[in-house]
Each structure stands twice: as structure tokens, then as C-alpha cells.
Structure 1
Amino acid sequence: MTSPTPAQLGFRMPAEWEPHEATWIAWPYNHEDWPGKFAPTPWVYSEIVRVLSRHEKSVVVVVADGAMKRAAAKVLEKAGVNLERVRFFKAATDRVWLRDSGPTFVVRDGAPSGVEGEPAGPVAMVNWKFNAWAKYDNYHEDRRLGRRIAEETGLHRWAPRVEIDGAPRRVVLEGGSIDVNGRGTLLTTEECLLSDVQERNPGLDRAGYERVFAENLGVSNVVWLGRGVHGDDTHGHVDDIARFVDARTVVAVVEPNVDDPNHEPLQDNLRRLREARDQDGEPLRVVELPMPAPVTFEGDVLPASYANFYIADGVVIVPTFNDPNDRVALNTLAELFPGRSIVGIHCVDLVLGLGTLHCLSQQQPAEPTGG
């Protein structure tokens, strides 16, 4: 018999603004990810942890071993972090982008259904297969991370599979490729999931992905955008272009300069969002976010985007780039999150690693009230 899916047991992927039990990050150590600019990176992380630890119940910092734990704790202490709000979890990683290598946490709002073998608790994990964005070879520690987090937390872990060409295969998916409103609607991009470039799941089509989202995340409505931002190493992650900020409102980045390579694809995404509907058939409210001026290093354009913010309990941390549009982005998000502090984190150095705040974080939701 086929085991029941998370959705059949009442589980769903909650919105990022729903209450958290913890935020997970991994301490940076790989100098090759920030070639020539690694030195500032631990200090950027210390500022992230300092801000988050003032609001979250716990910040879990993944470290490879005791030596890395001691080094990280020393930096965090110097930066004024309250280490009583920080937990260290020992697990090797290849890179620090836990949004993609970590699991997707799901919650159940009601009581257990009584099905044999179902999770006892209201929080569980969907552990996608990770293959380093179908681009890199060194991901063997990262692909084990979901199992290790399940062992640490004691949470039930699903490892979704689909049948392609008559054979069952683990589903490859990164957290940065999806964004949800917690009510049944999900944003993603055709460039990331349907292109034959950096193809995650050869043979899995649009309808197949929508079944995966329905069965594992409780999603009934998928809004497909087109392309991601120029310089995006992931080939189209949605968390650099459009994000839910409440159940009906999406922020979308735009580039007014018609000569900029981001102009046309971002206008196309904006059009799609304005034509889209939520799970109840209602139109979305779409709010525009600017793009910073192109951030480059040694001639390469980096994926700098204000949409890569992270929503934590009581605070939203937003990447900033020493750009006049920093203020516009922060003010826009402040209006959209009146109950949270809006804190800018300087990311000109961090983005050389080809990601910023949302890419490096993963929220563990709290148990739903009454769950």
C-alpha cells in the first residue's frame, strides 16, 4: 500500500511569517565561496545572528566540529551576541546555503488522523534531495544534512519520490525555488524547474511538479513566473524576484532601465503576478520593489536583490548594498510589515558567495496553536 502523503495527513508548508521555533544557519568556512573576500564574511554572519537572536526563540548554528564551534562562538561574542539564544549543531557541510540544502518544515493545524505510522507531532520535515543546483560536484555532506537535522530534532522526515520512466526517483528541490503564502498558493519559476539547463528532475513536467507541491506541501495553486535575476547561479530561484509578505500580497522586484538585462524578465514576472489569482481565485496585491544598481566583482554580475529578505519573529532582515534604493526597499517593507522591525544587513561582501539572507537561513516553525 502507498503511504499517505503529508497533505493527506493534514500537513502544509507554513508561511515564513508564521511563528518560529528556531532559525537555522550554517557557519561560513569555505574560502572558495568568497574568493578574495572571505575575511568579512564571518562578521556579516555575526551581525545576522546578533539581530535574529534578539527576536527568535533560538538561532541554531551548524558547525563542522568543536574547533569551528569555538571559532564561531568567539566571533559571535565579540559582536555582542547573546550566546544563551544560540545553539550549535555539529554537522559537516559543503556550503552554507541552508535554504536549499536544508529540509522544508511542514505543520499540521489539527489533531492526528489516527493513521498507522503517521507523525505524532504537529511539525515534521520534507527532505528533498539536494544536488548542488545541478551544477557542482561537491555536495555530499550537504545532501546528508536533512537526515542529520531530523535526528537532532526528532521530527518525522519524508523523502519525496516520483516515478519517471517507470522508476522511482527522489525529488530534487531547493527551498529558494519556492515561496508560499501558507494558505495553498506557491510561487516558482519556469527557468529553475522547467528548463533543461541545470535540470533538477529530468522528465518531471509542470503538472508533475504541481502534484509534488500538492502532495508534500499542501499547495493547491501554483503561480509560475518566468526567469530569475541576471547573475543568479541557481538559474532562476524565485526568492530573488518575488515573495509573499502576507496571504494576499506579493513584492516583486523591477528594473526600470530598459538597457539592463533584468528589465524585460522582471516586467514579464510583474505581468504574470498581476494576472495571477490565489487559491481562492482572488487577485494578488502586487507591490514593486526596486533593484540596486548592478553589484559586480572582477567583472562578474552578482545576484544582488532586495527580495532576498528573511522574515523572522518580530523582525525582517533585508540585504542592503550601499545603494540609494536601499532606503526605498527598507521603507517599502516597513509599510508591509508594521508589526516587525526592519533591519538592513550590509551584503556587498556576502553576495560574492552568490546568495544573501534568505539563501543562508531556514526557519523551523513553532507548533501551531491547538496543534
Structure 2
Amino acid sequence: MPDTPFRMPAEWEPHAATWLAWPHRRSDWPGRFSPIPWVYTEIVRAVSRHEPVNLVVPGPKTQARAAKLLATVGVDLGRVRFFVLPTDRGWVRDSGPIFVVDDAGNRVALDWHFNAWAKYPDWTRDDKLPAFAAAQLGLPTRQPTHRGWRVVLEGGSIDVNGRGLMLTTEECLLSKQQERNPPFDRSDYEAVFAAELGVRKVLWLNRGIAGDDTHGHVDDLARFVTPTTVVTVVEENEADDNYAPLRENLDRLRGFTDADGGKLEVVELPMPALRVYDGMRIPASYANFYIANGVVIVPTFNDPADRRALGVLSELFSGREVVGISCVDLVWGLGTLHCMTQQEPAGSGAS
């Protein structure tokens, strides 16, 4: 049983808002930054038609520029709330708070430690975002600790069904490479997830997709779309580096059961063709979609598989719009739509 009355809701449960951070770090998209703000305008436009957007900007000048661009593409600025906070980067899925709720609708913002994926030295500004967001919303916050260690956790490394079941990867959390929490083993993580997120069972996949700068985030790999249904990316080209590990993960998923012992339905998503920038593989994946109120935004790559991926997700989310967002430029930053968004679940507290 979970060790807390709080739980992390599934992404498809009602949201109070979506959190984003306006792009400002040019080096995240070397030589290709100029179109990135326009991609963000499309994301805000798609999401804000269905729920408010809380947009973090590094200063008033950036706020003014962002507001002008958003208005240019027809965004209702009454649906966008700006928050001024200097940040290192804009990947809010990983640096932002993870919100939990109890049965009465009370919400808490969890302030996990963020250390830039145990890879980059500049993270101290991003690490302040959860406490800042909680203060702006008037919500209590908690810094998860385990065995005296403040826990490092990125939102892209986990996915939940809202009913006690979680997906993650061994590559991200248990590998010695980009090691987030050196004292922890599998049982430590499972204890943390039970205590903080209401998780009763963790489904451990093996490796993430090739080229993933985070070293194995699950949100490029496999996602819950209902309490008992998981979509997972599968590579059809046997010569591709993704072929064997993605097949292994598919096999694991087919053998897993949910927190109550029931069988999971596993649905396959295609992978786009290989993309390379300056000799480096880019982690393009259709699994990096984001579920908002009334809409699912899906990364597309001007690839023949775009149509297939949108078709699969349209069938799974028949009650929501499924909107493709071109991420041909965005993905050069080594992340797309899910990486840059963080849902704020609805609850009884202020928003």
C-alpha cells in the first residue's frame, strides 16, 4: 500500500493549468534558435484553448516579446499568466514541481532536487522553480528526502496511471552513468515513490531511446494513456540502434500486470526515421506527447510515420483533439512537447 494519502494524478485527469517556460537559452538549439519561440507560440495556442497556461519568463523584456508573438498567432492572452523568474533552461517537465493531491482535492507541490540530469553544472536557477511556483499558487510544498538524502527526480523519468502504477527505466534511475541518487537502489526508489506519489507498483523498463541526453527518460519511450493501457515506441528497422532495446521493452510490457494484478493492454507507436545533427543522434519520438484538457499535442517530424502516430493516438484519445505540432526544429534541443510542459492538476486549492 502507498505510504501517503496523496497521489500523483494521471496526466489525463483534469488540469488547473499547464506550466511552461519561455525559451531563452540559445545554446540549447545551436544555430537554430530563431524558429523556437514560434514553435512555443503554437504549443501555447493549442493548449490555451483548453486550459490556462502559466508561462515562466526570465524578465519583463522577455515577457513583452513573448506576449507580442503570442498575440500575433491569435493566442488569447487572458488565458496566459506570466511569472517572472530567471531560469537556466526551459525544460519544466524536469525542473518544475510535481503536484500531488489527496481525496479531498488538497494539493501539494513536491520540490524534488534538480541537478541538470546529473550532467551539466548550471542548474541552481532551475532548482528554485518548484518552490517559486508553489509560492505563487499559495500551495504547501515539500522536499522529498530518503535516508537523509534530498531526492533528485525529473518528471520525464516517470509516468503514472493515477491508480498506483508507475513506469520508469533502469537506465535512468539505476545506471552509474548520470547517476542522480548514488545511495539508492531499486528498493529505495520504490519506497520514495510509495511515500511521495502514492505508487503501489513500479514497472521497470530497461533502456530509453538512442540519443536521449537524459540517459533513459521514459517519456520518450512508453506512456500510460488509460489506467490499463500503455503506448510504447517500436523500431521496425532491424539495423537501427533502437531495434533491440525497444523490442525488449515491448516484451517486458506485455508481461507486466497492473497494481491489482490485471493485464495491461500494450499499443505500439512507430518511430520516426533517424535524425542526426553534427554527427549526434537526435532523440525524436512520438511518445513525447502531452495530454491537456480536451487536447493531446503530438510531436511531428515531417516524417512518413507522422500520420501513423497521429492515427494511433487519435483512436486512443477519441474524446480529445489530437493536434500535431511540428518539432523539426524543437527536437534539436534534445527534447520536445512533454519535456517542456508540466501539468498542474485541478484541486481545491488556489490556482
Q: Normalising by the residue count of structure 2, what TM-score does the alignment of the two structures yield?
A: 0.98
Q: Does the alignment pair 1:309 with 2:289?
A: yes
- The correspondence of residues 326-365 of structure 1 with structure 2, limited to 5 A, is 326-365=306-345
Match of residue 151 from structure 1? 135
The answer to whether the aligner puts 1:239 opposite 2:219 as a matched pair is: yes
1:185 pairs with 2:165 = yes
Residue 53 of structure 1 contacts residue 86 of structure 1 at CA under 8 Å; is this kept in 2? yes
The answer as to whether partners of 1:185 and 1:278 remain within 8 angstroms in 2 is yes
Shift in Å, 1:298: 2.0
Q: 2 CA distance for matches of 1:358 and 1:368?
A: 25
Q: Deviations over 1:244-278 (max 9, x none)?
A: 00000000000011110000010010011000010
Residue 257 of structure 1: SS of its match in structure 2?
Answer: coil
Aligned to 2:15: 20
Distance 1:39 1:333 in 2: 30
Counterpart among 143, 151, 176 of residue 171 in structure 1? 151
> Hey, what's the Cα distance between the residues in 1 that align with 2:220 and 2:236?
17
In structure 2, what is the Cα distance between the partners aligned to 1:8 and 1:298? 47
Question: Helix, strand or coil for the counterpart of 2:71?
Answer: helix
Amino acid at match of 2:35: P
1:103 maps to 97
Cα distance in 2, alignment partners of residues 299 and 344 from structure 1 = 27
Identity, % of aligned pairs? 61
Q: Alignment partner of 1:258: what SS? A: coil
Displacement of 1:299: 2.1
Find the counterpart in structure 2 of residue 205 from structure 1. 185
Which of the numbers 72, 76, 80 marks the counterpart of 1:78? 72
Determine the C-alpha separation between the residues in 2 that align with 1:339 and 1:123: 26
Q: Deviations over 1:194-216 (max 9, x none)?
A: 00000000020000000000000
Query: Are positions 1:277 and 2:257 aligned together?
Result: yes
Q: Distance in 1 between matches of 2:61 and 2:150?
A: 34
Alignment coverage as a number of residue pairs: 348
Amino acid at match of 2:56: V
1:299 is matched with 279
Distance (Å, rounded) in 1 between the aligned partners of 2:120 and 2:263: 39
In the alignment, does 2:43 pair up with 1:54?
no
Distance in 2 between the 1:9 and 1:322 partners? 44
Give a deviation string over 1:64-117, Cα, whole Å, max 9, x none.
11111001101111111111100001111101000000011001113xxxxxxx
What residue in structure 2 maps to residue 122 of structure 1? Answer: 106
Q: CA RMSD in A?
A: 1.1
Q: Could you say which residue in structure 2 is the equivalent of 1:118?
A: none
In structure 1, the residue corresponding to 2:299 is in which secondary structure?
A: strand
Match of 1:117 in 2: none
State the SS of the aligned residue for 2:324: strand
**Is contact 2:232-2:268 (8 Å) kept?**
yes
Could you tell me the TM-score, scaled by structure 1's length? 0.92
Contact 2:4–2:196 (8 Å) recurs in 1: no
1:184/1:368 Cα in 2 relative to 1: closer, same or farther (>3 Å)? Answer: farther
Mapped to 1, the partners of 2:150 and 2:4 lie a distance apart of 20
Q: Mind listing any 5+ residue stretches in structure 2 that lack a counterpart?
A: none
Can you list the C-alpha shifts for 1:102-138, whole angstroms capped at 9, x where unaligned? 011001113xxxxxxxxxx611111110000000001
For 1:143 and 1:31, the matched residues in 2 are separated by: 20
- Equivalent residues of 2:3, 2:194 under 8 A apart: no
How far off its partner does 1:8 sit? 4.6
